[in-house]
A and B are shown apart, each in its own frame.
Chain A
């Protein structure tokens, strides 16, 4: 078990900056998720930690020891790959034991650990099969077994569930969470799926274009996104944004004019905006209300997606933006209806032109 420190980490590929100046601390035993759109550098960052790529600048410390120039096998890491990467010519038993044999451990000790890992992952009856005789979920478990038998200081997961179908993914997610609880080892988990990020992480690192946009607990990111990118990325359905102008501010609230004319006083935490300043207002689809008081936006409902337990309604606002609303019961809105959505002020986010969020209360 170990903590992890990344300082000023940089990676260039053929002149293109993939990782730009990443500083990050991951505490001992923490479950940390790297999340971001494809191409944001999250997998590269993980591979830098693993030692599969060499850094172009900066340093990596694992458990207080400088590992920047060390080979993967000296770093005390174990990695689970997206494609499983099982050795096809070896049985499950050989696959799992490979890492220990590479360390030249004693045969009896290897066998004992192998049995224990197989028991934890329910692989005991499959030990003598070849990878091609296993299902996707079983292969994934073998890949995890191969990692845990080495008792590494840090586990690295590179999108381990993205090749599984939806139901199996949910199941494996729970198994990985359980594994973390029982092993209490530091884990770094890369995913593009923000549901996985929210459900598994102690802390989420949101990456974009090789930079860390924000680091925080799932709820922190959900409630206090630091900028437009994080606000748009975190959340099962994307946050609604529209352009507004500040009317006045008094340090506790910033009043903005909504499309359609209504004014909305958004509570903020010690922040102000110049009258007339252009801002972006953000509100999550699940916070828009059909009933209620206060400011609202009206417009025709253009599309309704019926999900049974809820509806996703798309409303065309007077300024032309399309607003998404999650209505918690099915069947309430139909396409073509005139809609009216209320914006609870405390659920609104404000962002400046450069994307930085105005601090919120609560």
Chain B
């Protein structure tokens, strides 16, 4: 009886958390299929599936281009972050050198500054580099957001890998690059996949830099484009369009999570060293 009550309580708790997490998305989904005055009907269930908003999102502006921009920026930022972070993590986690700890703290310190505090400085930097209103400029800025935590997470994981593996590879005649790419990297997979995912999401959702460092529609990314969606008149906020666009741009993230899920395998190091 008590066990049943406990199970029931647990189930209710899960339900509550699930509802809290999913309701906003559900609401967006339902709203995205409504148009006109239906938008202001408080009903929980959709009356009819009206795909007009989805058409409008793509016809009113070049939303496909916007999504492509976002994918390009997020993918490049993730890729560059990982390559740099793996190298940095090897140095910070494996190589003994003076000032290693201070360097780690500095890297963590970089992520301490609020975006808004570095915004104007970053703007100057990007303009000086001639990258204003370009995607590379945005990628550079976003790296500041993703690098600190990717380096930090991978350094922690790198330290956990048995040192003998690396030494065995060196004794086997491998170069440092071979050791990192053929021995350590495959073992880092369980850490790499979620870190990459987080970096991608951070870059995908980034708004402030994208708003400030891009101007034209050709370089706009998803969050900015959605925020700048305009309705029929100045007074009208096009809820249906916003929700349709939001639903569309959720799909890549969900797809990524599903794809990476398979890669997140734990216990890969089992059998490496005894113990």
List the interface of chain A (C-beta within 8 A of B). 50-52, 71-73, 77-79, 81-89, 98-99, 102-103, 130-134, 136, 139, 143, 146, 150, 156, 163
Q: Say whether A102 contacts B162, CB under 8 Å.
A: no
Q: Say whether B187 contacts A103, CB under 8 Å.
A: no
Q: Say whether B272 contacts A150, CB under 8 Å.
A: no
Contacts of A134 in B (CB 8 A): 271
Binds A, one of B71-79, B151-159, B167-175: B167-175
Q: Of A84, A88, A102, which one neighbours B173 at CB under 8 angstroms? A: A102
Q: Say whether A132 contacts B171, CB under 8 Å.
A: no
Query: B130 contacts the other chain (Cβ, under 8 Å)?
Result: no
Q: Say whether A72 contacts B170, CB under 8 Å.
A: yes
Given contacts A52-B167, A87-B183, A89-B187, contact A72 B173 (CB under 8 A): yes
Q: Which residue of B is nearest A103, CB measured?
A: B173
Chain B, residues 174-194, CB within 8 Å of chain A (1/0): the string is 110010001100110000000
Q: Say whether A88 contacts B272, CB under 8 Å.
A: yes
Chain B, residues 243-275, CB within 8 Å of chain A (1/0): the string is 000000000000000000000000011111111
Q: Say whether A77 contacts B171, CB under 8 Å.
A: yes
Please name 5 further chain A to chain B contacts, defined as beta carbons within 8 Å, in addition to the given A85-B162, A102-B178, sorted by A numbering: A73-B175, A83-B162, A85-B273, A88-B269, A132-B270
Q: Say whether B174 contacts A131, CB under 8 Å.
A: no
Contacts of A156 in B (CB 8 A): 171
Contacts of A78 in B (CB 8 A): 171-172
Query: B11 contacts the other chain (Cβ, under 8 Å)?
Result: no
> How far apart sit A345 and B167, CA to CA, in the bound complex (Å)?
51
A72 to chain B, nearest CB (A): 5
Q: Say whether B168 contacts A85, CB under 8 Å.
A: yes
> How far apart sit A146 and B170, CA to CA, in the bound complex (Å)?
12
List 21 A-B pairs, Cβ < 8 Å: A71-B170, A72-B171, A73-B172, A73-B173, A79-B167, A82-B164, A83-B162, A83-B273, A83-B274, A83-B275, A84-B274, A85-B162, A85-B272, A88-B269, A88-B271, A102-B169, A102-B175, A131-B271, A131-B272, A132-B271, A150-B172
Q: Which residue of A is nearest B165, CB measured?
A: A85
> How far apart sit A134 and B271, CA to CA, in the bound complex (Å)?
8
Contacts of B170 in A (CB 8 A): 51-52, 71-73
B183 to chain A, nearest CB (A): 6
Q: Say whether B174 contacts A81, CB under 8 Å.
A: no
> How far apart sit A88 and B183, CA to CA, in the bound complex (Å)?
9
Contacts of B271 in A (CB 8 A): 86, 88, 130-134, 139
Q: Say whether A84 contacts B167, CB under 8 Å.
A: no
Q: Say whether A88 contacts B187, CB under 8 Å.
A: yes
> How far apart sit A146 and B165, CA to CA, in the bound complex (Å)?
13
Q: How many B residues touch the partner, as a band?
A: 20 to 34
> How far apart sit A82 and B171, CA to CA, in the bound complex (Å)?
14
Given contacts A84-B273, A86-B271, A88-B269, contact A79 B171 (CB under 8 A): yes
Q: Say whether A81 contacts B187, CB under 8 Å.
A: no
> How far apart sit A71 and B174, CA to CA, in the bound complex (Å)?
10
Q: Which residue of B is nearest A133, CB measured?
A: B271
Contacts of B172 in A (CB 8 A): 73, 78, 98-99, 102, 146, 150
Contacts of A150 in B (CB 8 A): 172-173
B42 to chain A, nearest CB (A): 54
Q: Say whether B274 contacts A139, CB under 8 Å.
A: yes
Contacts of A131 in B (CB 8 A): 271-272
B14 to chain A, nearest CB (A): 34
Q: Which residue of A is nearest B186, CB measured?
A: A89
A21 to chain B, nearest CB (A): 24
> How far apart sit A78 and B182, CA to CA, in the bound complex (Å)?
19
> How far apart sit A163 and B275, CA to CA, in the bound complex (Å)?
9
A133 to chain B, nearest CB (A): 7
Q: Say whether A88 contacts B270, CB under 8 Å.
A: yes
Q: Which residue of B is nearest A53, CB measured?
A: B167
Q: Say whether A136 contacts B268, CB under 8 Å.
A: no
Given contacts A85-B165, A87-B165, contact A136 B274 (CB under 8 A): yes
A232 to chain B, nearest CB (A): 31
A280 to chain B, nearest CB (A): 41
B103 to chain A, nearest CB (A): 20
> How far apart sit A314 and B164, CA to CA, in the bound complex (Å)?
43
> How far apart sit A139 and B270, CA to CA, in the bound complex (Å)?
13
Q: Say whether B270 contacts A85, CB under 8 Å.
A: no
Given contacts A77-B171, A134-B271, contact A85 B178 (CB under 8 A): no
> How far apart sit A103 and B168, CA to CA, in the bound complex (Å)?
15
Contacts of B270 in A (CB 8 A): 88, 132
Q: Say whether B168 contacts A79, CB under 8 Å.
A: yes
> How far apart sit A147 and B174, CA to CA, in the bound complex (Å)?
13
> How far apart sit A85 and B161, CA to CA, in the bound complex (Å)?
11
Contacts of A82 in B (CB 8 A): 164
Q: Which residue of B is nearest A76, CB measured?
A: B173
> How far apart sit A48 and B133, CA to CA, in the bound complex (Å)?
55
B124 to chain A, nearest CB (A): 44
B177 to chain A, nearest CB (A): 11
Contacts of A98 in B (CB 8 A): 169, 172, 174, 182
